[in-house]
Each structure stands twice: as structure tokens, then as C-alpha cells.
A and B are shown apart, each in its own frame.
Chain A
Amino acid sequence: MTTKIVIGLDGTETGERAIGFAKDLAERIGTCELLVAYVIEWSPYTFQTPEENAQRHKRREEEIVLANERVVTPAVDALKAAGFNVTGIVRHGDVAETLNAITVENGGSQIVVGRASADGIKKRLFGSSTQNLVMHADVPVTVVK
């Protein structure tokens, strides 16, 4: 059975370091699969206008295309070029919850993320996604600085 490592990206440069760490880890483990995941922050409990609702599907598709183009595909391509067995996934939802769900669904054995870049009041009030992930994940989480 191969080990599967999930790399959670947030589109910032900390993601690069998370990828670097995961590469290092994968090389040490040997037969290892990588799953590059990007979660688009989204809540089903927001309030929207009828017009926003009508366009929601279109926007969602656009968001997924954009996330793939800018974040996931470049990372996947780079890892493939480096000889890794890698796939990518983009999903909407709460970042911590969704990253954990993706890992559990795909049989991932651990998660590697970059340290979150949230700041200010929001972080103090709600904690960062990284904190939430570390607290609630079902598998070990490595946070790369």
C-alpha cells in the first residue's frame, strides 16, 4: 500500500514551502502518492440576492477554472516533472473541514500545509484555518513555516 500525502495550498508562497517539504517527505518514504488540494472558501449559509443566486453556477465554474489554472495545475505539473505520482483537486467549502474531508475520502495518511497568512481581528476572533485544521483533522498535520 502506498502512502498518500495531501498538500493543502492557499495560493501564497507558503504553499511552495509546503510542496518542498512534502517532496522531501515523499522521497524519504519511497512509494508515495501526492494529492494537491486547493479549497475555495465558501459557506452555504451566506445571504445572497436573487441575481447572485442565478449566476452562482457560472461563478463557481469560473472559480474552479481559476484555482486550477493559477494554483493547482502549476503545482501538479511541477511535481510530475520531478517524477512524483501526483493528482490535483479543487473544492468549495470551509478550508479546514474540506481539506480534512478530502484527505479522509482519498485515503490520505497525512496533511501538509503552509502556515496561514490570515491576520488581524479576524484571526483573533475565529482562529486561522490552519489552527482549525490542526485541531480537528483526523490525520497528522504538518504545518510548514
Chain B
Amino acid sequence: MKTLVKTGVSGAAAALLASPAMAQEAVGLDQKINQAFADLTGPFVSFIFAPLPGTSFPWIVMWLVIAASVFTLYFAFVQMRFFSHAISLVKGDYSDPNDAGEVSHFQALATALSGTVGLGNIAGVAVAVGIGGPGATFWMILAGLLGMASKFTECTLGVKYRNEYEDGTVSGGPMYYMSKGFNELGLPGGKILAVLFSIFCILGALGGGNMFQANQAHQQIAGIVGDYPGWITGVVFAVVVFMVIVGGLKSIARVTEKVVPFMGVMYVLTALVIIVMNADMIGWAFGQIFAGAFTGLGVAGGMVGALIQGFKRAAFSNEAGVGSAAIAHSAVRTKEPITEGFVSLLEPFIDTVVICTMTALVIIITQQLIIDPETGNYMLNEAGTAIATVDGNSGVSLTSAAFGSAFSWFPYILAIAVILFAFSTMISWSYYGLKAWTYLFGEGHTKELVFKVIFCIFVVIGAAANLGPVIDFSDAAIFAMAVVNVFALYFLMKVVRQELASYSERLKSGEIRKFGH
């Protein structure tokens, strides 16, 4: 996910925004609106991101990490036992040729991934490593590995309890497993959870999945062509988004959906090339990651600081436990809902364990972080809040500088990638938001159109204004989704366990087998 983490990317964004012209614009009405909005939503934001007593560790991150650990143990390390099976499923080894033409496992995975891979992987990791040091990478990978179990749980349920309509279309996601699943188990309150989840999902879609994306895309464009009013970017984006989600203009969506994975692959390949170019440093880099994970190597907050940053980044980046992926995956028509769960567990792996780690390694290996030659520890910046970097970079610009130190042209590619990632995330979240909207208000052309138009209006607002409080709020809304979702998952996980037991047995007995191709 690419939502702004308050401590992180927003710092970089704020620095970029602090031009005199923008400052003047912000005065007046905008400021009043911001202030009113902040006052209104402040308590909610503070609550969601509140640190655990006596620490700076947000409880919501702990909530997600504990959930991931519980699911990992409850399903006896499903992410390891079924990892290769998941890959076979994606390759289509178990797909019945008579079902050809339906959404494939590969397509569902690619769609869900394009909603999560993005700014979090590029900017967020830089923030984590910049504050928590190389050791943050270790904790980030660990949290990513655990998060695979959360994804597995929510996506299995998403497919199992989705709605199929007479015309053959489907709607699924946490709101459906909350209401239908709780009903099936005879538990009360499923409907209430579903409504709560839907409200947070709509807010999250309009905020983190939309305004923040538009805002960051504008920052990137302005960074290349020079500063200009954000509403121009906003209108252009809104028109394109409108054409895709309202006009049904498939070509733009298709181009994006093709270019985004290409960008992702290119990003990883470039990172690999840089790592190979510095092959002699690989051992050292991993040494830094392990040493930093347990000692902190002098970063602010020491080992705990590294751990907090790593956990935070993983949780914010791969959305495991948030429930969004359950909406994306529920479109697959499969006889075995659990196969979609297996496939989805690859997501945190690709997003966090592979892509985020690449970003971290490149930053470490290109030595963007300054080490004190005397102590071997990292030097802090003047404020003492983060590690000093070569050019004083942080966030996106740190990643950009790291890649740019090897290939001077890469920052331009990166800027384009960020813009495209932002766009594809908007398209994904417009769908998540729409599903939550139709859950609350019912399906129907007009009702859906109302949401889509609102969504487009928010693109303009997001790009035009520096809405710090709004972004804080939308981040909080996305994680509020996780509060409701994980709560429901604890009650429903036994359903998944039954599915897992039955499926494993049939896989062993040979009842479920590969189709010859």
C-alpha cells in the first residue's frame, strides 16, 4: 500500500510542498477547512495511531503483527507448507481446461498485487531504513512472512462467502464474510461489523486509495516539470479515472495493468543489477541487516527502533489483515475457495519479502546511510530523528538517490513508476470502495455512479490541496478496516481450518491432482 505514514513520507512531501506560493495558498479558507477537519477527525486518528503505553509503537501495528503470528501458528505455518503449491496453482497446473476463460489464479494475484505494490515499496522502505537503520529490513521481512498467513485467511473467506448474482457477476470481501459467516456460525453482530468495515473501507478508498495517490503523483510530476497548481494534475487524473471506471474505457486500464507489472519487474531487476554490481558488498549488507536487527547499530531507539520501523513498514505495505485483498480475490470462480487463499499468500511475499527488501538492499549497498568510521555505528542527523544520509535525503528521494547513484537516469523511470503505481492503486481502490458502497446502499447503476463521481471529485481535491489531516484520517480509516477485519477473522478462522484440513487430505489422496497440459 502506498498510504502516507505520518512519520515518514509525509515529511518528505511536506518538505517538497513548502514553497512560498503553496504556503500562501494554504492560508485562508484552505487552512480553515484543514483545521476544522483536523479537529473533527483528530481523536479518531490519534486513537488508531496511538502508541502502546510507554513506547512509540503504534498499537495498530502490534494488532496486525499479533494477528499474523496467531494465524501462522493456527494454520501450522501454512505459508511454508503450501508455498510451492501456491506457485503450482498460479502456473495453472491445477486448472481444469474446461474452466478456461474464467479469471485465473494468476490474474487474481496480479490484480491484487497492482493494488498493493507502489509507494510503500519505494518511499516507505526508505523511511523505515532511514530511521530504523538496516536492521529494520530484518523485522520487515519477518513481518512480511507472518503476514502471508493473514492474507491466506482473509482471502479464503473472501471467496467462500462472496455473493454470486444471477447475471454471473460477483461481489465479495470482508463485509460478506462478516455477515454471512457470522450468521452461519450462529454468532451475533456480523452485520454490525460488516457495516463498520464498509464505512471505513469507503473512507480508506477515498483517502489513502485516492487522495494520497493523486497528491503523490502530483508531487512527482511537479518534481520533474517544475511547480504548477495541483488541481491541473487532479483534473487530468480525474478525467482519466472517470473514463476508466465510469466510461468503461478498458484500453487505459489495460495499458496501466500491463505497464504496472512491467514497471515492478523492471524495478526489481534494476535493484538486482545494482546489487550484483556491488557483489563484494552483499555479505557486508546482510551483516549490517542482522547486526542492526539486534543491536540497532546506533539508530534512534536502538534495536526496538529498528523493529518498530520494520514491522510498521511491512504492515503498511502489504495490507495483510486490512481486508482489501479479500475483495480483489473474491472474483475468482473456483470450486475450492482455499486455493485462492494459497495464491494470495504469495502477495506479502512478493510485495514485502522481495520488492521491499530490494529497495532496502539498494539503499544499504550504495551506502546512502552515513556510518561513523570510528564506532562503525550509523550517524544521526542533526535533529537526531533519523540516520544522516549522503545528501540529506529521505523517503522517495532517498530511494531515488540510491538508484541514481548507480544509474543516473533511473530517477526519471522511478517518477513514472510512482505515477503509474498511483493510478493503478486508484483504480483498485475505486473498486474496493465501490463494493463497500454497494454493500451499504445496494447494487444499481445510479447508486454506483454516485460513488464513482464522488471518487473522481476526490482525485481533484487530493491533488490540489495539502490535506495533511485528511491524509492522516484516511490512513487511519484503512487501519480501522484492519481492526474490524482481524476481529472478524479470529471468529471465522476455524472455518478456514476445516477447509484446509479437507483440502490437504484430498490433495494427499490424489483426489485433487494436476491436469495434464
Chain A residues close to B by CB (< 8 Å): 40, 42, 44-58, 60-61, 63-64, 91-93, 97-98, 101
Contact = CB atoms under 8 A, between A and B. Distances in A.
Contacts of A45: 104, 106-107
Contact of A47 (B98, B111, B328): B111
Contact of A42 (B100, B114, B168, B258): B100
Interface in B87-102: 92, 95, 97-98, 100-102
A64 B101 CA distance: 10
Contacts of A46: 107
Given A48-B107, A53-B331, A97-B517, 17 more contacts: A44-B95, A45-B107, A47-B110, A47-B111, A48-B257, A49-B250, A49-B253, A52-B250, A53-B108, A54-B431, A56-B101, A56-B102, A56-B103, A58-B167, A61-B168, A91-B97, A101-B517
B169 A57 contact: yes
B102 A57 contact: yes
B393 interface: no
Contact of B103 (A48, A93, A98, A101): A48
A92 B103 CA distance: 12
B427 interface: yes
B111 A93 contact: no
- The 8 closest A-B CB pairs, nearest first, are A92-B101, A44-B104, A58-B168, A53-B331, A47-B257, A50-B431, A92-B100, A60-B101
Given A54-B171, A61-B168, A91-B97, A49 B431 contact: yes
A118 to B, nearest CB: 20
A91 B100 contact: yes
12 contacts: A42-B100, A49-B244, A50-B432, A53-B331, A53-B332, A55-B169, A56-B102, A58-B168, A92-B100, A92-B101, A93-B97, A97-B517
B253 A52 contact: yes
Interface string B424-461: 00011001100000000000000000000000000000
Nearest to B331: A53
Given A47-B261, A50-B327, A63 B101 contact: yes
B255 to A, nearest CB: 10
A51 B250 CA distance: 10
Nearest to B98: A91
Contact of A50 (B95, B250, B254, B331): B331
A11 to B, nearest CB: 16
Given A57-B168, A61-B168, A50 B428 contact: yes
Please classify the interface of chain B as helix (H, G, I), strand (E, B), loop, or mixed, using the class held by over half of its residues.
helix
A50 B328 contact: yes
A40 B261 CA distance: 25
Contacts of B180: none
A101 B427 CA distance: 37
Nearest to A51: B431
Nearest to B105: A44
Given A50-B431, A57-B169, A44 B331 contact: no
B333 interface: yes
Nearest to B333: A57
B245 interface: yes
Nearest to A90: B101
B227 to A, nearest CB: 32
A55 B244 CA distance: 15
Contact of B107 (A53, A58, A91, A101): A53
A57 B432 CA distance: 19
B96 to A, nearest CB: 11
Greatest chain A CB density within 10 A among B100, B258, B331 is at B100
B261 A53 contact: no
Nearest to A58: B168
A128 B167 CA distance: 35
A28 to B, nearest CB: 32
A60 B102 CA distance: 7
Contacts of A44: 92, 95, 100, 104-107
A60 to B, nearest CB: 4
A129 B301 CA distance: 62
Given A44-B95, A56-B331, A51 B101 contact: no
A93 B100 contact: yes
Contacts of A51: 245, 431
Contacts of A58: 167-169
A93 to B, nearest CB: 5
Greatest chain B CB density within 10 A among A42, A46, A64 is at A46
Contact of A54 (B98, B110, B169, B244): B169
B152 to A, nearest CB: 19
Greatest chain A CB density within 10 A among B104, B250, B427 is at B104
B193 to A, nearest CB: 22
A51 B448 CA distance: 12
A110 B436 CA distance: 52
Contacts of B167: 58
A50 B97 contact: no
A103 to B, nearest CB: 13
B111 A49 contact: yes
B428 A57 contact: no
A79 B142 CA distance: 64
Interface in B288-339: 327-328, 331-333
B224 interface: no
A42 B101 contact: yes
Nearest to B434: A51
Nearest to B172: A54
B170 interface: yes
A93 B107 CA distance: 14
B254 A47 contact: yes
